[in-house]
Amino acid sequence: MTSTVDPISLPQRTASNDTEIDREALARLLIEIARNVDPDYRARFDGVPSADPRMETLRQLLVGREISELSRVTHLLDEPDQLAAAMGGVLPSAAARAPHAQLGEALTPAVERAVQRSIQKSPRTLTDILYPVFLPAIRKSIGERIDQTFQSLNETLRHIFTWHGLKWRFESWRTGASFSEVVLKHSLVYRIEHAFLINRNSGLLIAHVTADNATSEDPQLISSMLSAIQDFVKDSFNEKEQSSLDTIRFGDLRLWSEVGPFATLVSVIRGNPPEELHEIVRDVLLRIHEESSEALEQFDGDSSQLAGVEAQLQTCVELKQEESNQGFPWLVVTAALLLLILAGGWFFLSWQSGQRWQAYVSRLETQPGIIVAEQKIRGGQFYIAGLRDPLAADPQSLLSGTRVDPARVHSQWRFYQSLEPEFVLKRLTASLAPPDSVRLSIVDDRIIAEGEAPETWIDRAQAAAQQLSAGGPVFDISRVRDVSPEVREAERWQAYVSRLETQPGIIVAEQKIRNGQFYIAGLRDPLGADPQSLLSGTQVDPARVHSQWQFYQSLEPEFVLKRLTASLYPPDTVRLSIVNDRIVAEGEAPDTWIDRARAAARQLSAGGPEFDISKVRDVSPEARAAEHWQYYVSRLEAQSGIIVAQQTARGGHFYISGLRDPLAADPQALLSGTEVDPARVHSQWQFYQSLDPKFVVKRLTASLTPPKSVQLSIIQGRIVAEGEAPAAWINRAQAAAEQLSADGVVLDVSQLRELNLAELNQLRQAIQTTDIFFSSGKVVPGPEQTPVLDRLADQIKEFAQSARKSGVTARFMLTGHSDTTGRETANASISAARAETVRALLNKRGVAPELLLVRGAGTFEPAVPENSQTGSSTNRRVSVTVNLD
């Protein structure tokens, strides 16, 4: 074999100092290798000297390490235990660096065999692993299936008896689909207007797609608030991490949330969607995770690696279902309706005719004196037969208003006498012809005769009662009175005598009837009623009445009252009345009239009623003025802080003197309403300090000026001071108590407590230095903030209670803050939401909601600069400010 390669010329130079390798020795070694490899090259290197022993040394320098490592690897391959240990150390790193496809193909058989053996060995282990994952999915799937069933049942029942229901049932028969499927197809009209893909861990918006003609505000803000709601519900109700808020409904809008491993898909749906839509949205979320799982897991706000996600979300917002406008088979329906109308018309007319006939028969059966024995309809004709009393209603006339054709009615009636009371009454009235003074009526199925009649008519009536059939009603004539002229006149005269005997001031001594004449005698008070006028209305002939009355004075109270009124002429201010058979005078009168009344009371007969004038007051000007003055003096004596020492009335003037506390009521003002002339009152009052507790309390309040936390009250005549106050004020109160004890007034200061304001200020400082911190984009604090919230709630409650005891009211302002990440409007909303969350958490821990105020400061009040090392994490907080009112 020949070669065109030029012979190698070796440079003659010594080894350089920059390396430990002898380059000349290396060249000789390479030439020796070339000679051994290809003999044809031997001639070209004749001028090169053969290898020397130093070549072995050179070989050790160049490849000695490799030879040693090769020997170690060979030994390692021969030892399985050492090989396994070495492979275990590098296998994880190698698996991480290997391509996914090749690694999956290589490991699939081994992993499948290992999993199969593990399951066969311990199935419960796999069950325990998969249970937390599959149980929520199974529960959610069952819940959606139940909702779908109830939705289908609800819509089916709602439309089953409507026009749409009939139309959809025909469509179900024509297409072969179930009726419930057709109902859901037409009744569930919906449209997906928005689709939000939100990172599950950070709550950041990954992608957002909007349907045509759909509007919304800032998608990023909506995403943050949805995440905040999820976190708030989990933290508030201690839900598990894998739980989530599935559905939110607001008016016509529904928010459906589907949760994936790395992202949550929220669909905003307008209308009434079917439950099967869950599966479609869930499939879109699964496809997104299959195509972009790694990018979703590592998402940090950069959507450049998720360009294809919006295309997948677009398929969601294209989902909608509108009201079906399919044509309707009007020709078939018209023909069917025509047949139904004809058949229905015939059935309706037959039914209506039968109803009218039955209404006529029912009307006959309710008529007294008519008994329907048989009735039927045959060949469009009506047949009826039975019994009828001649006095009963005419069956032919009852056809009027029933809309039954009289020409189609064939009746056969036999006459009989009904024993019903109304028909028996009609026959008795026709046969007996009772006079106008007699009234026949039916009472409890008995015929009753009442009134007055001659003896001959009564005899005929008794005979008719005996002739009535045994099964008929009873004819009672016991209430008919004999009205012969003598009997009637005697009854009228007795009625007149009884009327006279009931009249006050008339005493009947004797009355009799002789030869058709009436005689009466007795006593009559001139003030009593006229016996002649009482004859009016008694039907007694005045010409046949002979009366003899002797006048006398009746002692009945009403006649005595009339005589006293006529003789005394009482003034308008006096009223005379009869009380328990006594004549009582009440009111006001001059002393002259009172004297006349007293004389009349003494002149009354011993057997007459008593005349009481004790309730009449003397109304002379002097007596009236004295009464008004005594009323004023009594009013002064009832006032606290006023002591009346002396009071007199002399020469038409009034004089009064005594002691008066400056804090008591003004005696001059008390004259109002007493009718005492102030110009005639001469008063002389000496000021003094009353020891009445209420006046002492007023002076103590004015001199000591107690704080709001101290209350002065009167308990069983003692003045008690209660509450908390500074030490200086308590010392002043104790000094005042010692001064009052000498006067006999007790001021109890034992229940006062010294107010410690230093402790209150220290607690206020502790509250205001407490901050609640949040993670980025979160409106609910993490679990590490729970001890801080517990401690803050206890401090706030302690401070509010201490401030209330000190007479002040505490208010706590919760201010939410955020970092500068994102838009300012979103930051303001998040900061306000954080403050509201802390308020709810403090309220949950027993802090009264009226003590807490909230506001959102956004990024305008940072605790530290944002460019500092801890700027963002420190500024995501809620701070507390204490205000005292």
Report how far apart the first and last C-alpha atoms of the chain are (Å, whole number).
Answer: 112
Q: Of residues 136 and 356, which shows the higher confidence score?
A: 356
- pLDDT tier at 49, thresholds 50, 70, 90: low
Please state the rounded mean pLDDT for residues 543-566.
85
Half-sphere exposure of 87 (CA within 13 A, CB side): 8
Helix (H) or strand (E) holding 461, with range, is helix 455-467
Report which listed range, 777-791, 855-869, 870-884, is most confident.
777-791
Token pair recorded at residue 555: 């002692």
- Is 573 a residue whose pLDDT tops 90? no
Token pair recorded at residue 294: 């790694």
- pLDDT tier at 10, thresholds 50, 70, 90: very low
Q: Which of 838, 817, 821 lies closest to 829 in space, CA to CA?
A: 817
Which DSSP string corresponds to 772-801? EE--TT-SS--GGGHHHHHHHHHHHHHHHH
DSSP summary character for residue 820: S
428-473 per-position pLDDT tens digit:
888 888 888 888 898 888 888 888 888 788 888 888 888 776 667 8
Determine how many CB atoms are found less than 10 A away from the CB of residue 482. Answer: 12
| pLDDT (0 to 100) of residue 40 | 56
DSSP 3-state assignment of 547? strand
255-309 per-position pLDDT tens digit:
878 888 888 888 888 777 777 777 787 788 788 878 887 777 777 777 777 777 7
600-624 per-position pLDDT tens digit:
888 876 677 888 888 888 777 777 7
| pLDDT (0 to 100) of residue 841 | 94
b/e for 115-145, b at 16 or more Cβ within 10 A? eeeeeeeeeeeeeeeeeeeeeeeeebeeebe
512-532 per-position pLDDT tens digit:
888 878 899 998 888 888 888
Helix (H) or strand (E) holding 153, with range, is helix 123-159
**Rounded Cα–Cα distance for residues 613 and 300 (Å):** 110
Q: Of residues 396 and 741, which shows the higher confidence score?
A: 396
Residue 634, phi then psi, degrees to nearest 5: -65, -35
Please state the rounded mean pLDDT for residues 836-864.
91
Q: Which of 728, 838, 831, 836 lies closest to 772 in space, CA to CA?
A: 838
635-659 per-position pLDDT tens digit:
888 888 899 989 898 888 889 999 9
pTM across the whole model: 0.28
- pLDDT tier at 29, thresholds 50, 70, 90: low
Token pair recorded at residue 319: 């989902």
| pLDDT (0 to 100) of residue 6 | 42
